[in-house]
Amino acid sequence: MKPRFFLLLLLLPLHALAGTTPGTAVQATKLTESSPAVPQQAIAALPEPVPEITKNSLLRVNSTNQVYDFFQPWMKKPPFSRRGLGVLLEGGRILVTAELVANSNFIELEKPATAEKSSAVVEHVDYDCNLALLRPNDEGFVKTMPPLALADGLRVSDQANILQLEPNGEIAQTPGRITSISVGSYPLENLGLLFFKLSAPLQQRDGSFTLPAVSDGRLVGMLMRYDARNQTADVIPVPVIRHFLKEPGAPGTRGFPRLGLSFAALRDPQLRHYIGLKEPGGIYITEIAPHGSAEKAGLKKGDTLLAIDGHAIDQDGNYEDDDFGRILFSHLTSTRTYPGEVLKFQILRAGEKLEIPVVLQPPDRSRVVSDTHLSDKPPKYVILGGLVFIELSRPYLQEWGNNWTATAPQRLVYYDAVQNELPADRGKIVILSQVLPSPDALGYEGLQNIVVTKLNGLPVKSLSDLVEAAKKPVNGFQKIEFEEDPKLVFLDAAAIEANRDALIKHYSLPALQRL
Amino acid sequence: MFRILSITASLILAAALNAAPIAESLVRIEATSQEPNYKTPWNPGDVTSGVGAGFVIAGDRIMTNAHVVSNARFLTVSKEGDPKPYPARVLHIAHDCDLALLGVENPEFFNGTTGLEFGGIPPIESVVSVYGYPIGGTRLSVTRGIVSRIDFQTYSHSAMDSHLTIQIDAAINPGNSGGPVMQKGKVVGVAFQGYSGDVAQNVGYMIPTPVALRFLADVEDGTYDRYVDLAFSHRELFNPAARRALGLEDDNTGVLVSSVYGGGSSSGILKPGDVILKIDTLPVSSDGTIPLGSESVPLTEVVERKFKGDTVTLDILRDGKPKHLKVPLNEPWPFTLQSNAYDEKPRFVVFAGLVFQPVDQNFMEAHNPGNQRLNYLFDYFVEDEIHRDRPELVVLGTILPDPVNAYAEEFRFSPVDEINGRRIKRIEDVAQVFAEPADDYVITFAGTGRPLVLERKAVQEAGPRIAERYGVASQENLIK
């Protein structure tokens, strides 16, 4: 018997499409409690004890976090805790990574030597650069502690030590060396910012979600990722920290500016020749994000970007930075720039050189179609007669697990992936995510993950639109229209109103909507 | 207890009595086939061979499964008790219902055989016998079981078509394919697929006689026209509010038309939101079934028994008003790109070491591209009417690396939008535009931002070099 026929007799699934799509996030192990331990034999003898001044600037931070269940957005998943080492800075504030305290319910500070405890709150957080500042509820708790200064001017091959807390309260120090300085993707927002790569054989210890790296008693940066196999740590460096620290003082200009464009390298000589590029360098602008800084300045898809503020851009998109050498140009437009600043872009358009001033601003989050993350914010939802409506977001798709790009509904994955190409007035994508079976929703039980277009004839571009339109039933019915099958659903407007309390009680819902 | 035993005993006796003529009409089929590789579409493909079953029917023809003889290059048939293999050929093949008819050049083959006759749909719980050559072997094997369920099932050969299927609990194994399932001396089905994995056991499927007889009727005029389709989707109408909103009584009748697929038979006749009350005068229940004979079957069964050129009448409710519609079943379902395709040559154009191909299920299975845009366009080709813009999804598939295409990797699996300003709607457009002289060939793809530029001179130099190095036997094939 030949295997061919064996296969043909097997029943194949209807949709035999199982594409695997690589994620965009950098694949590296985070320093979580659950990440694989570093080999225990790795460390050589510690070179020198940690200076007292450094030791006394550190606080153990225990954060109890709880995230919402995006499939059942009215409830939270079980709480979990993350631990790390925070650094006391000038002004009595403690610096940690944003991931440590994302969705935190309760934050506890602990002095390593004495195990004295006090609580704290997040004073300022920026998920773009993955940093947060904590304020102790009792400011006196840190009064006697010396703040740590920031170490500027570090370069490739400089040494930096990573600090960890031993179970006995001692600080362990692992020597490392900066192997590269580049622009790379940060967690949470996937924004490309400056980071140091540190080579250091870290041992896995309890509570290592945020760890500081120091040099000569000064802070070099905060660890945000550790790759146990390659023994390299990605560190949020001082230039990014300094940018972040300016934010709380100037509320109108918070955040890292974002240019809002995509580019392709211009290595292909055939393409260079075709667009009439005679000089070396330059990159090809492939996409302009709607409502972004680049779009507002008038940059266009197909432009060749030659220089920014006199810094020539090479064919891979790098420029020569005074501090860090060849590095991606987006360092110029993010970490080196503050919101509202203007940079001069030199471009080539249809064979003509132009200079275009670009006002750099952080992205307008209200315009985002599908949010990348929704930390600290409860997800919105509306329930109409048992039909659960939500707005499409990346965290919702991520509920399908690590392989969500292949396993989540493909239309939703597609909308998330191409959101910059959708019409500028697309608004949010409202989805019927599931149905809580009820007498009003009889016959609609299986409906899930379909995109709503209209309610009672009115276009739905947000959950607020949905709520407004629901106030205007047609002939006593809520008429809901969808992009996909079943295309059309009716609910009895009076009946769902009358059965509100029964539905709430039956499924123990806190409320039928949260906006 | 005693009575049940005696019934079983008499059934065994009946089966034994009938075994002799059936065995004479049973055919063992050895097929040598060649399956093209969509990654190297210029190659003829690997040669493989397999064994299946078939049976003689009236007119000296052999019925078997399409999957037994798909992509066949050489076929032989042999009978029980006559070891001589006779060369055979495919007369008709229906990939959408997994059936085929074979002829044998040498008429001597049919000496002593009797064409088996077809019966009806066997009742639930009645006993049937399955004949074939499971797990190889040259001798006839018979297994027995009862009819477990009669339902619509996906036919895994095309993976897109569903027809009436009978589930039986007799063991159906590889090699049973194409063999007859008998009851009272008549063919009541053709064994064709089983269930894989640990989920279910003792589950085998056969193609029932309505499907087999439809196939025979379809080919009477000498060609197989395929199944026709109303090309709309419908939803059950259980919700009381929906029923009142649509002007229906609370009487369990009618289904809601949800999608009407552009390019299909009902396009321009039916509208989403219509309620179907009757199909060919048969009342449609709110779960989408109709009474047919003594059975309750899905309403599509009406269309299943029709042919190209026939008409379906629909009694509908549109905006609360009754309407009587006629839907001519002019063309078979036009969108077959999501079906497994057989007996087709891959179509492609090679240019500068870049292989441009129209996307279909065979392409997706060979390449398994992890491109979200392509996955969406393929999945929703019919539903979102992608075909209006792109009658074919032409993409860059295989890349044969060479200096001329050193920077093309990022375009792999991206749909081609334009070449030299010309909109690419079919693979033929690619062949034509590359045949026209130009200094540069500028190719734009959906979602990649920058164009791919190929200089003619460089392409001309690279062409023979690539063809030789990678053994590209032909630069294009545009015919299926």
pLDDT at B12 over 80: no
The answer to whether A24 contacts chain B (CB < 8 Å) is: no
The answer to whether B458 contacts chain A (CB < 8 Å) is: yes
Fold of A261-359: Pdz3 Domain (2.30.42)
- In this complex, the residue of B361, B373, B451 whose CB is nearest that of residue A418 is B373
pLDDT at A447 over 60: yes
pLDDT for the residue A50: 73
Q: Which of A37-46, B156-165, B247-256, B259-268 shows the lowest per-residue confidence on average (mean pLDDT)?
A: A37-46
Interfacial B residues in 389-408 facing A (CB < 8 Å): 406-407
Provide mean pLDDT across the span A305-317: 96
Nearest to A341 by CA among A363, A360, A328, A367: A360
Q: Do B241 and A490 touch (CB under 8 A)?
A: yes
Residue B453 CA to residue B436 CA, distance in Å, equals 15
The answer to whether A486 contacts chain B (CB < 8 Å) is: yes
- In this complex, the residue of B373, B383, B455 whose CB is nearest that of residue A484 is B383
List the single residue in A with minimal CA-CA distance to B456.
A270
pLDDT, tens only, B225-256:
999 999 999 999 999 999 999 999 989 999 99
The answer to whether A487 contacts chain B (CB < 8 Å) is: yes
Nearest to B392 by CA among B346, B443, B448, B459: B346
The answer to whether A291 contacts chain B (CB < 8 Å) is: no
**Beta strands per DSSP E along A158-210:** 159-165, 171-185, 192-199
The answer to whether B163 contacts chain A (CB < 8 Å) is: no
Backbone dihedral angles phi then psi of residue B17, each to the nearest 5 degrees:
-65, -35
- In this complex, the residue of A8, A12, A442 whose CB is nearest that of residue B240 is A442
Helix or strand (DSSP H, E) at B69:
helix B66-69
A456 vs chain B: nearest CA distance in angstroms? 12
pLDDT, tens only, B96-146:
999 999 999 999 999 988 899 999 999 999 999 999 988 777 888 899 999
Q: Do A491 and B241 touch (CB under 8 A)?
A: yes
pLDDT, tens only, B255-296:
999 999 988 899 999 999 999 999 999 999 999 999 987 778
Does domain A368-514 match CATH 3.20.190.20?
yes
pLDDT for the residue A414: 94
Find chain B residues with C-beta within 8 A of A411's C-beta.
Answer: 376, 379-380
Q: Do B258 and A485 touch (CB under 8 A)?
A: yes
Helix or strand (DSSP H, E) at A469:
helix A463-470
Long-range contacts of B387-392 (CB under 8 A, 24+ apart): B387/B262, B387/B263, B387/B335, B388/B262, B389/B425, B390/B415, B390/B425, B391/B425, B391/B426, B392/B337, B392/B358, B392/B359, B392/B425, B392/B426, B392/B427
List the single residue in A with minimal CA-CA distance to B232.
A485
pLDDT, tens only, A228-251:
889 999 999 999 999 999 887 666
Interfacial A residues in 425-444 facing B (CB < 8 Å): 440-444
pLDDT, tens only, B54-88:
999 999 999 999 999 999 999 999 998 787 999 99
B385 vs chain A: nearest CA distance in angstroms? 12
The answer to whether B319 contacts chain A (CB < 8 Å) is: no
Sequence-distant (6+) residues with CB within 8 A of B383 are A484, A485, B259, B261
pLDDT at A43 over 70: no
Q: pLDDT category, A207, cuts 50, 70, 90?
A: low
pTM of the complete model: 0.86
pLDDT for the residue A377: 87
Residue B322 CA to residue B334 CA, distance in Å, equals 30
pLDDT, tens only, A455-501:
999 999 999 999 999 999 999 999 999 999 999 999 999 999 999 99
Q: Do A9 and B238 touch (CB under 8 A)?
A: no
Nearest to B145 by CA among B121, B117, B120, B126: B126
pLDDT, tens only, A149-165:
999 999 999 999 999 88
CATH of B232-328 given 3.40.50.2000, 3.40.430.10, 2.30.42.10, 3.40.30.10: 2.30.42.10
Please tell me if the domain spanning B232-328 has the same topology as the one spanning B348-477: no
Task: Name the residue ranges covered by the structural domains of chain A.
Answer: 261-359, 368-514
- In this complex, the residue of B157, B193, B272 whose CB is nearest that of residue A487 is B272
Find chain A residues with C-beta within 8 A of B136's C-beta.
Answer: 1
| CATH architecture under which domain B2-110 falls | Beta Barrel (2.40)
Residue B341 CA to residue A291 CA, distance in Å, equals 45
pLDDT at B200 over 70: no
pLDDT, tens only, A215-230:
999 999 999 988 888 9
What one-letter code names the amino acid at A192?
Answer: G
Q: What is the ipTM of this complex?
A: 0.85
Task: Name the residue ranges covered by the structural domains of chain B.
Answer: 2-110, 127-221, 232-328, 348-477
* Strands of B440-445's sheet in order across: B422-423, B416-419, B440-445, B452-455
The answer to whether A11 contacts chain B (CB < 8 Å) is: yes
Q: pLDDT category, B39, cuts 50, 70, 90?
A: very high
Fold of B348-477: N-terminal domain of MutM-like DNA repair proteins (3.20.190)
CATH H superfamily, domain B127-221: Trypsin-like serine proteases (2.40.10.10)
pLDDT for the residue A166: 82
The answer to whether B174 contacts chain A (CB < 8 Å) is: yes
pLDDT for the residue A306: 97
